[in-house]
């Protein structure tokens, strides 16, 4: 399945100095988003910085959203994840796609201009209608068991 998403370049470095967002391989689920910054940016331990992607997108279809997720190598090797762990870009948002980068490690980390900082996935959305009830229909084996009730506590 293919989806055409209008993309507006907001920073002239994108597409000139840095590649446009793209899938790294044929089997990649997310496109790589790069730090559209002029100079290296150091993120101290525990600190969060918002970094521009240099672009805005127009998904335009309320049945689709973009989800921003961390890059596994940055998260596992360096403790660099997204400030809210994942981010939602709604179909009607038209501003610059910003990336909240959080350093959860104990060491400073410097992000280089044009470095891949996260991935963007396009996923379907189902808008649910909440229906208030006094009791749920049908019992389940799990019932109200949560937080470790089916495995390790």
CATH of the domain at 75: 2.70.40.10
**Confidence check: pLDDT of 142 > 80:** no
> Is residue 142 situated within a structural domain?
no
> Is residue 81 situated within a structural domain?
yes
- Please give the pLDDT value at position 151: 73
**Confidence check: pLDDT of 153 > 60:** no
Tally of domains within the chain:
1
> Is residue 80 situated within a structural domain?
yes
> Is residue 143 situated within a structural domain?
no
The structure's pTM equals 0.87
> Is residue 16 situated within a structural domain?
yes
> Is residue 139 situated within a structural domain?
no
> Is residue 82 situated within a structural domain?
yes
Domain hosting residue 120, numbered range: 6-124
> Is residue 134 situated within a structural domain?
no
Residues 6 or more apart whose CB falls under 8 angstroms from that of 56 comprise: 7, 8, 10, 94, 95, 96, 97
Residues 6 or more apart whose CB falls under 8 angstroms from that of 57 comprise: 5, 6, 7, 8, 66, 89, 97
pLDDT digits (tens, 9 = 90+) for 65-120: 999 999 999 999 999 999 999 999 999 999 999 999 999 999 999 999 999 999 99
């Amino acid at each position: 399945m293919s989806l055409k998403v209008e993309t507006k370049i907001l920073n002239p470095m994108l597409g000139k100095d840095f590649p446009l967002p793209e899938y790294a391989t044929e089997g990649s689920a997310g496109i790589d988003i790069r730090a559209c910054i002029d100079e290296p940016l150091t993120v101290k331990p525990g600190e969060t910085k918002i970094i521009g992607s240099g672009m805005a997108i127009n998904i335009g279809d309320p049945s689709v959203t973009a989800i921003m997720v961390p890059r596994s190598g940055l998260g596992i090797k360096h403790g660099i994840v997204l400030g809210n762990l994942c981010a939602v870009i709604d179909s009607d948002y038209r501003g610059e796609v910003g990336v909240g980068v959080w350093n959860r490690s104990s060491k400073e980390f410097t992000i280089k201009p044009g470095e891949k900082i996260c991935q963007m996935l396009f996923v379907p959305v189902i808008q649910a209608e909440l229906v208030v009830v006094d009791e749920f229909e049908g019992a389940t084996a799990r019932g109200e068991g949560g937080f470790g009730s089916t495995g390790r506590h």
